[in-house]
Amino acid sequence: MLNLSTTVELSNGTHIPLLGLGVYKVDSGEEVYQTVQSALKLGYRHIDTASFYGNETGVGQAVKDSRIPREELFITTKVWNDEQGYEETLQAFERSLACLQMDYVDLYLIHWPVPGKFIDTWRALETLYQNGRVRAIGVSNFLEYHLDDLLLHAEITPMVNQVEFHPQLYLEDLLDYCKKNNIQLEAWSPLARAQYLHHPLLHELGEKYGKSAAQIILRWDVQHGVVTIPKSTKPPRQKENAEIFDFELSREEMEAINALHCNGRVGSDPAQLK
């Protein structure tokens, strides 16, 4: 049975927990420290940060103070747009490691497909991977044509593509593309910043299963085989987000949720990146 410690195997054999904690827009310092501490105490072992978030130091301190063996944790960070390029990325990685107080990260991602930059940035990620500095490498916010371009130049296929993904942005073609190419899709903002948790279908299913609308969406992610990293700074909500493994949506219910798709982004569109 699936649970909070369930992992998915990436193409290189590394295992990533199916559910994690995202810390975008969590303030550096005490807020992110307490947020990560509470998640770890609840049993979370997957924490997702980025240099752009400005909170890697707090994440690293919370992980260190938890005294959980490093090998039991899965830590992701990302290289930001103005840090991209081959040498620039290698330097950015060292800054992230120093902030995190770690010798390696489990997953390092290109945060956005910056035109004219992401190919060289990917070469840097390949170097870090080949040198054993990261356990897995991937991308974030890449659409199919970005991946096509990258794969023309890459020696190593990205192991993960982290994108905005939720029922009103059900990127079915991208999900199929990633499955075909053995790239694990991962959802950021899986709850769409709570913009449509009031939807009648989600409430109807929530009443049926004794779950919240948010839990219905997170379960939908999991049943699509998508790794998901909801953000919450509140321990009760973190606990609720983790309680999605004791029920299963039917095929018809999954299809009904799929049909909520309306290209409803809450974040930036990668196709518009300059």
Sign of the Cα pseudo-torsion (176, 179, 183, 186, in order): positive
Task: Tell me 18's DSSP state.
Answer: S
**Distance (Å, whole) CA 19 – CA 226:** 9
Split at pLDDT 50, 70, 90, the class of 2 is confident
Q: How confident is the model at residue 1 (pLDDT cuts 50, 70, 90)?
A: confident
- Given a contact cutoff of 8 angstroms between Cβ atoms, the answer to whether 67 and 40 are in contact is no
Contact 77, 56 (CB under 8 A): yes
pTM: 0.97
First to last CA, the chain: 44
| C-beta of residue 195 within 8 angstroms of C-beta of residue 267 | no
- What pLDDT sits at residue 261? 98
Long-range contacts of 201-207 (CB under 8 A, 24+ apart): 201/256, 201/257, 201/260, 202/167, 202/257, 205/249, 205/253, 205/257
> Looking at the predicted structure, is the pLDDT value of residue 273 above 90?
no
pLDDT 10s digits, 42-77: 999 999 999 999 999 999 999 999 999 999 999 999
Q: What is the mean pLDDT of the chain?
A: 97
- In percent, how much of the chain has pLDDT > 90? 97
pLDDT in tens, 231-265: 999 999 999 999 999 999 999 999 999 999 999 99
Q: Tell me whether residue 53 is one of the annotated catalytic residues.
A: yes
Is a pLDDT exceeding 80 seen at residue 274?
no
In the chain, pLDDT over 70 holds for what percent of residues?
100
Of 33, 44, 53, 129, catalytic = 53
Question: Which of 158, 263, 169 lies closest to 224, judged by CA?
Answer: 169
pLDDT over threshold 80, residue 167: yes
User: What SS3 state is found at 88?
Assistant: helix
| pLDDT tens, position by position, 121-154 | 999 999 999 999 999 999 999 999 999 999 999 9
- Residue 129 CA to residue 135 CA, distance in Å, equals 7
pLDDT value of position 182: 98
What would the mean pLDDT of 212-230 be, rounded to a whole number? 98
The reported pLDDT for the residue numbered 3 is: 87
